Amino acid sequence: MTVLLELDNLFYCYPGYPKPVLNGATLHLNAGQKVALIGRNGSGKSTLLLHANGILRPDRGQVHVAGQPMGYQQHVLREWRRQVGLIFQHPDDQLFSASVAQDISFGPLNLGLSAEAAHQRVTIAAEQCGVTDLLERPTHTLSGGEKARVALAGVLAMEPLVLLADEALANLDPWMRQQMITIFEQFVTQGKAVLLATHDLHTARTWADRIVMMESGHVIADAPAETFLPIR
């Protein structure tokens, strides 16, 4: 099975903090996999995802995307971020543009695509996320669920191989959560992979193929979802 993302023995300490947030974290993600990343607050989940997208650079360890070790030069980062998309818990942090269509077009244009190609990507991503009718709307008039789908469309428009979702289902109602999960499912059926950081153990057990558990900056359990015991 093709390994799309490998995080190998990562160590990271935020500047000014004595305790490392990542302490030898190792994780791999295969094509077609749905992985749930669980763990307490402060266990290092979000920091790990930021490393996977190249926002943070590990003090030690290596990140591989589609078998290639990643560098941190601007042109390498651009390709890296094309392949590994990241969505956040609060879509308001992600939506910066006044109109939905413009916001979704931001990523494709940063990849150096022409306006025409970017427009095509916007149309496809909007369709995938069910936000076609919102394209002309200003972002500040959207509901929470709509914002979440638009934020997801903004990442899918970059056509990543791996989708990282940092508690992206939190704060959503069950219907909206189901819609997001359906979009994740469609994404995975294209031979891509999703890594969802979540506190929702039910979603983790019912949706994911694999559950990875973090504690104190490293992975303490990594097993198929069906073998993962209920946590009391």
Binding site for other proteins (CB under 8 A): 50, 53, 55, 74, 77-78, 81-82, 85-86, 88, 90, 92-99, 101-103, 105-107, 109-111, 115, 118-119, 122, 137-141, 154-155, 158
Q: How far is the CB of 9 from other proteins (least distance, A)?
A: 23
Q: How far is the CB of 53 from other proteins (least distance, A)?
A: 5
Name which of 157 and 204 has its Cβ closer to other proteins: 157
Output the 3-class SS for 18-71: CCCCEEEEEEEEECCCEEEEEECCCCCHHHHHHHHCCCCCCCEEEEEECCEECC
Q: How far is the CB of 161 from other proteins (least distance, A)?
A: 15
CA distance 115 to 216: 45
Name which of 58 and 210 has its Cβ closer to other proteins: 58
Name which of 37 and 204 has its Cβ closer to other proteins: 37
DSSP character for 199?
S
The SS3 call for residue 212 is: strand
Q: How far is the CB of 65 from other proteins (least distance, A)?
A: 14
Structure tokens at 71: 């560098």
Q: How far is the CB of 35 from other proteins (least distance, A)?
A: 19
Q: How far is the CB of 201 from other proteins (least distance, A)?
A: 26
CA distance 24 to 215: 11
Give 159's contacts (C-beta < 8 A, 6+ positions apart): 82, 121
Identify whether the C-beta of residue 27 lies closer than 8 Å to the C-beta of residue 7.
yes
Name which of 73 and 227 has its Cβ closer to other proteins: 73
Name which of 7 and 213 has its Cβ closer to other proteins: 7
Name which of 98 and 223 has its Cβ closer to other proteins: 98
* Continuous H helices in the chain: 45-52, 74-83, 91-94, 100-110, 115-128, 144-156, 174-189, 201-207
CA distance 193 to 200: 19
